[in-house]
Amino acid sequence: MTSTVAIDKAAPTRTVKYGSMSRDRTWALRWSYFFLTLFAIFSLVPPIYMLITSLKSSAEISAATNPWWVFHPTLSNYIELLTRNQFLRFFLNSAMVSIFVVTITMLISVPAAFALSRMRFWGSATLATGVFLTYLIPDTLLFLPLFKMFAVFGDWTGIQLINRWYVLLIVYPTLTVPFCTWIMIGYFASIPKELDEAAIIDGASWFQTLTRIFIPVALPGLIAATIFAFTVSWAQFLYPLVFTTSTDQLVLPVGIITTLIKGDVFNWGQIMTGALLGAAPPLIIYAFLMDYYIAGLTAGATKG
């Protein structure tokens, strides 16, 4: 008896409560959208301001008009930069370095990840942890000893590495390989054992197992690792600043900062155009492959 009474009492209050809950919910939603808009503005102001400034002439930049609006849009900054050989050289250097580094990284880290995740051997577990720890050693700790090492190497062998763009092909893999190996180990470990056992029974060699089974199955991981390697080598600033100085050897970030800023004279229209063009390749990749990009970003921590 008591229970039926309780239900009778509860019925009207329940509807009221539903109403208040959904009202709470709509308000929570409104507040969420409000704050998200604020944060999105905070995030997007610098890139948008790059775009605004890049469309202005230098006369308009130094005029005391509203900086947030373009009154006389012009493409002169883009034309000037894209027809200048020096800037194209930076772009080409950056592209070459990034593409080579991605290739080297994949050639080193995919076989290594395969061996570490599937072919257990003495010390493989320690090595896997060691790989992750090397990822934590920052570039700012290594640039001075590396600089000295390359100088000594040049003295000994006569092969000049300092101030050549290809020195970056040697140092960038130290940033990309450990992390890429680490995410590939995670992806390879998630492939069921039965798959490669079946391949081995069918007479496939280890190499065939890797190329025919593991690489196709772990393709999303491979794409995520490739994107990571590309963005890291495209954005790296410290190593090229230390190891290259001649203008024909520079990559884009360093090139923009060292050649477009002359003493105290800042040609902001061109600097912003250059910065926007330099930011474009990672942004375009991100726009098309956002899910892979985020998968690579979160894989490092959730899998380890």
Partner 1 sequence: MVDVTFQPNSVIEARLPRKRASLRTALKRKSTAAFLMTLPLILLITVLVLYPAFYSLHLATLNKSMQRFVGFGNFEFLFKRETFWLVVKQSCIFALSAVFFKALIGFVVAHFVHNIPAKGQRKWRGMLLVPWVIPPAMSTLAWLWLFDPSYSAFNYTLAYFGIGPIPWTGDAYWARFSVILVNIWFGAPFFMIMYLASLKSVPEQLYEAAAIDGANWWQRIWYVTLPMMRNIIAITTLFSLIVTFANFDITRILTAGGPLDHTHIFATWAFRVGIEGGDIPLGASVSLFMFPILAIAAIFILRDINKRGNEA
Give yes or no for residue 223 binding partner 1 (CB under 8 A). Answer: no
Q: How far apart are CA 83 and CA 24, in angstroms?
A: 58
Q: How far apart are CA 79 and CA 92, in angstroms?
A: 17
Q: How far is the CB of 178 from partner 1 (least distance, A)?
A: 7
Around Cβ 57, how many Cβ atoms within 10 Å? Answer: 16
Q: How far is the CB of 83 from partner 1 (least distance, A)?
A: 21
Q: Which of 162, 213, 279, 289 binds partner 1 (CB under 8 A)?
A: 279
Q: What is the DSSP string of 37-72?
A: HHHHHHHHHHHHHHHHHHTS-HHHHHSSS-TTS-SS
Residues 263, 241 contacting (CB under 8 angstroms): no
Nearer to partner 1, 100 or 286 (CB): 286
Q: How far apart are CA 251 and CA 235, in angstroms?
A: 10
Give yes or no for residue 157 binding partner 1 (CB under 8 A). Answer: no
Give yes or no for residue 222 binding partner 1 (CB under 8 A). Answer: no
Q: How far apart are CA 58 and CA 22, in angstroms?
A: 54
Give yes or no for residue 13 binding partner 1 (CB under 8 A). Answer: no
Give yes or no for residue 270 binding partner 1 (CB under 8 A). Answer: no
Residues 18 to 57 in contact with partner 1, rule: CB under 8 A:
28-29, 32-33, 35-36, 39-40, 42-47, 49-50, 53
Residues 110 to 139 in contact with partner 1, rule: CB under 8 A:
111-112, 114-116, 119, 121-122, 124, 127, 129-134, 136-139
**Interface stretch with partner 1, choices 73-81, 95-103, 170-178, 217-225 (CB under 8 A):** 170-178
Name the nearest CA neighbour of 279 among 51, 84, 64: 51
**Interface stretch with partner 1, choices 3-11, 63-71, 83-91, 161-169 (CB under 8 A):** 63-71
Give yes or no for residue 201 binding partner 1 (CB under 8 A). Answer: no
Q: How far apart are CA 218 and CA 227, in angstroms?
A: 14
Give yes or no for residue 173 binding partner 1 (CB under 8 A). Answer: yes
Q: Scan for tokens 């580094």, then name that residue.
A: 101
Per-residue 3-state assignment (H helix, E strand, C coil) for 80-93: HHHCCHHHHHHHHH
Nearer to partner 1, 1 or 15 (CB): 15
Nearer to partner 1, 1 or 124 (CB): 124
Residue 265 β-bridge partners: 262
Two tokens at 177? 């390989």
Give yes or no for residue 297 binding partner 1 (CB under 8 A). Answer: yes
Give yes or no for residue 58 binding partner 1 (CB under 8 A). Answer: no
